[in-house]
Amino acid sequence: MGLSIAAAIYLLLRRSNAIAPGVTPPRRLRLWAAAIMLENVFSHVLWLLYFCHPSIHGYILVCTLDILLLIPIISGFLLSMLQDRHRPVWLVAVALVPAIVLSALGLICQDEAFMDWLRFYVIALFALFMVYMFFAVRRYGCWLRDNYADLENKEVWQSFLILAAFVLLSIVYIFTSEQTTTLTYLLEYACIIMMGLLLWRVETLQSLSESSPEEADEPAEEEQKASAPQALPVDIAPLLKKHCENKHLYLQHDLSLSQLALVVGTNHYYLSQYFSQQGLTYNAYINGLRIRHFIRLYEKAVAENRTITAQQLAFESGYRSYSTFSAAFKQHTGKSVSAWMCDAGE
């Protein structure tokens, strides 16, 4: 409990980022993470009180309160990781109304059979939410690639899967009537790992409104369609070549689609449509330019007999992370960096 309280205080009161100083996390995500920490403390207090005075009423009440708090809060956190649009959490709370009814019937009838129905309903609700999140995270990944040149500190796949596994473990634990010492210790260790994961996720996820403030005030897509014909260039390709390729604008870190559209002289919607018509994402377009820039730098260094490293050239080609560059290079050329350099040296 002490770790959860300390983590909640840190998230609520500390403004700077201790784990990743160069990243500005979403404020909303930070608040939801603090709520998870406080819910964990409250849950421990409830179960301690129940173990001191065990009863069927106490068991049903503790399970109900735990579920009614855990599911909306963790749902709010997961939804807040997706920054393409605001997703309401109240729908999750509404979906818990049947759980409240089943708990009330269990308390009135003093029958644990209602807990079986409650267990089934909560797990089914959790499964439905995870299916929704799977597709939402997938759409979010597509949205990122359509709007951002750099994906570092923006993707959420791995943390989503780990958080989902933890929530499932918590639900199983809550509905386990015979909780052994071994199971209790396992969950405690899992909670400590979870606290660390939450802190890491909050501190390392870049707030997209902070990284590209012009997008926050950008008109809705329908408004863009109505107003864009006057701003639509005859041909976007020459403007991209002039303003992005010739001036090496693609080397700029965290260059967003909206920023590029502003430089080119069109709007977000039409530039997005242009890339879609070309059969590629904005991220693929920028990566292609950066990889070609890397190849030119490498060939120039070899011609001049200079000693260079792939890491150095990757940084000079607009990448902050070598692993990101390596993955993009293999996707673009079909070869690993080392294999390509060996072939180029022959």
Tell me what the mean pLDDT of segment 211-237 comes to. 50
Tell me what the mean pLDDT of segment 186-190 comes to. 72
Kindly compute the dihedral angle of the four CA atoms of residues 194, 200, 206, 207, in this order, to the nearest 10 degrees: 50
Q: Which CATH architecture has domain 220-345?
A: Orthogonal Bundle (1.10)
Tell me if 148 sits within 8 A of 189, measured CB to CB: no
State the pLDDT at residue 224: 46
> How much of the chain is in helix, strand and coil states, percent to nearest 5?
75, 0, 25
Cα angle for residues 197, 200, 206 (degrees, 5° grid): 135
Token code pair at residue 37: 């920490």
Whether the CA torsion 25, 28, 29, 32 is positive or negative: it is positive
State the pLDDT at residue 285: 96
Question: What is the pLDDT confidence band of residue 346, given thresholds at 50, 70 and 90?
Answer: low
State the pLDDT at residue 230: 44
Token code pair at residue 261: 């559209």
State the pLDDT at residue 184: 66
Residue 266 phi/psi, 5° resolution? -120, -165
State the pLDDT at residue 175: 63
Quote the CA–CA distance of 93 and 79 in Å, as a whole number: 14
Q: Please give the model's pTM, rounded to 2 decimal places.
A: 0.82
Percentage, residues of the chain above pLDDT 70: 86
3-state SS assignment for residue 148: strand
* Distance linking the first and last C-alpha atoms of the chain: 61
Cα angle for residues 207, 79, 38 (degrees, 5° grid): 90
Mean pLDDT of the chain: 83
Quote the longest CA-to-CA distance of the chain. 86
Residue 280 phi/psi, 5° resolution? -145, 165
Q: Which of 27-31, 187-191, 260-264 has the lowest mean pLDDT?
A: 187-191
Judged against a pLDDT cut of 60, whether residue 153 lies above it is answered with yes
Residue type at 24 in one-letter notation: T
Quote the CA–CA distance of 264 and 262 in Å, as a whole number: 6
Judged against a pLDDT cut of 80, whether residue 92 lies above it is answered with yes
Quote the CA–CA distance of 136 and 167 in Å, as a whole number: 18
pLDDT in tens, 317-338: 999 889 899 999 999 989 999 8
Token code pair at residue 298: 């490498």
For residue 342, what are the CA distances in angstroms to 55, 296, 306, 332?
A: 71, 16, 16, 17
